[in-house]
Amino acid sequence: MSNNQVRVRFAPSPTGMLHIGGARTAIYNWAFARAQGGKFILRIEDTDRERSTDENTQIILRALKWLGLDWDEGPEIGGEFGPYFQTERMQTYKDALYKLIESGDAYPCFCTKEELDAKREKANKEQGGYAGYDGTCRHLSAEEAKRRIEAGQPHVWRLKVPKDHAPITFDDEVYGHMEFPCDVMDDLILVRTDGMPTYNFAVVCDDSNMRITHVVRGDDHLSNTPRQILIYEALGLEVPTFAHLPMILGSDGKKLSKRHGATNVEEYRDAGYLPDVMVNFLALLGWSLDGETTIIPRDVLTQKFSLNRINKKDCIFDETKLDWMNGAYIRDMDVDSWANVALPWIKKTEGAKTSHINVDIDFAKSICPLLIERMVRFNEIPKKIEYFFWDDSVVLDEKSVNKVLLKEGARADEALRIAMSVLTDESNSWEFEPLQEKVKALGEKAGLKPKLIFQPIRVAVCGNMVSPPLFESIVLMKREDVIARIQFVLDKFFA
């Protein structure tokens, strides 16, 4: 490792899935590492044993892989500074605590939860607010503390925050110069009664032991940073550079939450958004390339991403823009990539399994031109292409029937009979252009404008008036099935 190599980390707690905010943090760290030729490290912060699950870890890893955020060190691949699960690093926290005890910077605190709660309540009532731990055990003599520990009295370990410390300052890459008065910092807990390190303690030990150079994380951690700096100082460690990311808000200006809809990355995957789009879109929530470019492919992001273009203003998660971007990326796909992504969705379509159509990659490629220009999300596919799998029967949309088939002056029966004459004539080859042109010509001869001729056929074959292109669809189906559907509509409405 060269000494000035950038090393950043994404450090999710597996107490839930990968959320939009976490994904954005991961993207920024990853893109920054790539742009700097540095390393992107993934660390699982699983010290909350009650709320952390292996299942959540797996879901987070899966979501990161789906987004294409490859880590250089971390779970599954290991690395020089592992292990990458906090619960496997307990010895390192013990060593650090021991160092602090030795230097007199940590002390055991025997105050019980009940005692602390009572103090908090009293302070809230009588002093207009709780200013943090009052330091009761800070003043115990070394002998007294030792005696109580040996007697097995439960205790936590606290940091002895220096009383005469100047304000804690750091230069945040996003927020600029930050200053926190030290006298309001209470003696924070480093290790709990059960021996587990607190978040602030573990994160400092890990970031230091893993040689993290830049800590890039959500601004909900901004108030933790001065506390972490106190721990770095007590341990005599170098403090990394910090960059705190702006909050992501929903369209109503409130912090993005479940109320706004999907917040978990895999919900977006399941709704048919492309991973490249999610990366591009989330990258722009708080960062910009030049203030105007919206389509930023992965390779540009990994070359150009910089911390100094992160905005400190909160940003709005705009679903309309996300949809627009997904459609734009889809239109830009080549047939092969489109077909690969679309195939699982095509297979989900009702009737696809039992149909005579062989639903394979070639079928996916054949319907690509019918859909690619008009899509926003891949999850639209099953509804849009159901009619391919209906064989000889059609499910008619009532509104389309009324508007196209039964409306005064529609002359739908004439249009359908013209279609029958062309489609049943086996001397006409089953290719879209000749079929379409013949039907159109006969319609014109009968005085039917293209819309009047094509719309009834569309409803009879595809069930509604907004299907993908008609004759391109027809030729992908069996001749006898198409004929049967038109005949069925003729019999039902025009016999």
Active site amino acids = 258
Site for ligand GLU in 24-83 (CB under 6 A): 45
If one asks whether residue 264 binds ligand GLU (CB under 6 A), the answer comes out as no
Taking the C-alpha atoms of 268, 269, 274 and 279 in order, what is their torsion angle to the nearest 10 degrees?
Answer: 60
Q: Which stretch binds ligand GLU (CB under 6 A): 6-14, 119-127, 153-161, 294-302?
A: 6-14
Rounded to a whole number of angstroms, the minimum distance from the CB of residue 115 to ligand GLU is 29
Q: Pairing relation of β-strands 168-172 and 176-180?
A: antiparallel
Rounded to a whole number of angstroms, the minimum distance from the CB of residue 270 to ligand GLU is 23
Distance CA(308)–CA(212), nearest Å, equals 19
Which H or E element spans position 33? helix 20-36
Rounded to a whole number of angstroms, the minimum distance from the CB of residue 173 to ligand GLU is 14
Closest to ligand GLU by CB, 13 or 198: 13
Q: Which of 221, 312, 347, 479 binds ligand GLU (CB under 6 A)?
A: 221
Distance CA(327)–CA(374), nearest Å, equals 8
Q: Which stretch binds ligand GLU (CB under 6 A): 11-19, 123-131, 182-190, 325-333?
A: 11-19
Rounded to a whole number of angstroms, the minimum distance from the CB of residue 188 to ligand GLU is 15
Which H or E element spans position 172? strand 168-172
Q: Which stretch binds ligand GLU (CB under 6 A): 10-18, 102-110, 125-133, 357-365?
A: 10-18
Sign of CA dihedral 425, 430, 434, 435: positive
Closest to ligand GLU by CB, 217 or 440: 217
Closest to ligand GLU by CB, 245 or 452: 245
Rounded to a whole number of angstroms, the minimum distance from the CB of residue 208 to ligand GLU is 13
For residue 340, which phi and psi values (nearest 5 degrees)? Answer: -65, -40
Residue where the block lists tokens 């489109």:
338
Closest to ligand GLU by CB, 203 or 394: 203
Distance CA(177)–CA(198), nearest Å, equals 27
If one asks whether residue 109 binds ligand GLU (CB under 6 A), the answer comes out as no
Residue 188 region by backbone torsions, left for phi larger than 0, else alpha for psi between -120 and 50, else beta: beta
Closest to ligand GLU by CB, 52 or 455: 52
Q: Which stretch binds ligand GLU (CB under 6 A): 9-17, 232-240, 274-282, 292-300?
A: 9-17
Helix%, strand%, coil% for the chain, nearest 5:
50, 10, 40
If one asks whether residue 108 binds ligand GLU (CB under 6 A), the answer comes out as no
If one asks whether residue 13 binds ligand GLU (CB under 6 A), the answer comes out as yes
* Residue closest to 184 by CA, chosen among 230, 137, 124, 217: 230
Q: Report the first-to-last Cα separation within the chain, whole angstroms.
A: 82
Closest to ligand GLU by CB, 198 or 464: 198
If one asks whether residue 12 binds ligand GLU (CB under 6 A), the answer comes out as yes
Question: Between the CA of residue 158 and those of 5, 133, 231, 234, what are the distances in Å?
Answer: 33, 10, 11, 12
Encoded one letter per residue, x for contact with ligand GLU by CB under 6 A and - for no contact, window 323-342 reads --------------------
Rounded to a whole number of angstroms, the minimum distance from the CB of residue 32 to ligand GLU is 14
- Binding residue count for ligand GLU, defined by CB under 6 A: 7
Closest to ligand GLU by CB, 96 or 475: 96
Site for ligand GLU in 167-206 (CB under 6 A): 203
Contact 272, 66 (CB under 8 A): no
Question: Between the CA of residue 427 and those of 446, 457, 487, what are the distances in Å?
Answer: 22, 20, 20
Closest to ligand GLU by CB, 54 or 433: 54
Distance CA(399)–CA(463), nearest Å, equals 10
Q: Which stretch binds ligand GLU (CB under 6 A): 7-15, 130-138, 420-428, 471-479?
A: 7-15
Rounded to a whole number of angstroms, the minimum distance from the CB of residue 13 to ligand GLU is 4
Sign of CA dihedral 10, 13, 16, 22: negative
Rounded to a whole number of angstroms, the minimum distance from the CB of residue 224 to ligand GLU is 7
Q: Which of 6, 7, 8, 11 binds ligand GLU (CB under 6 A)?
A: 11
Q: Which residues on adjacent β-strands are paired with residue 429?
A: none
DSSP string, 207-232: HHHTT--EEEEEGGGGGGHHHHHHHH
Closest to ligand GLU by CB, 11 or 20: 11
Q: Which stretch binds ligand GLU (CB under 6 A): 8-16, 55-63, 132-140, 457-465?
A: 8-16
Strand order in the sheet with 241-245: 39-42, 7-10, 214-218, 241-245
Which H or E element spans position 96? helix 90-102
Encoded one letter per residue, x for contact with ligand GLU by CB under 6 A and - for no contact, window 200-219 reads ---x-------------x--
Rounded to a whole number of angstroms, the minimum distance from the CB of residue 175 to ligand GLU is 15
Contact set with ligand GLU (CB under 6 A): 11-13, 45, 203, 217, 221
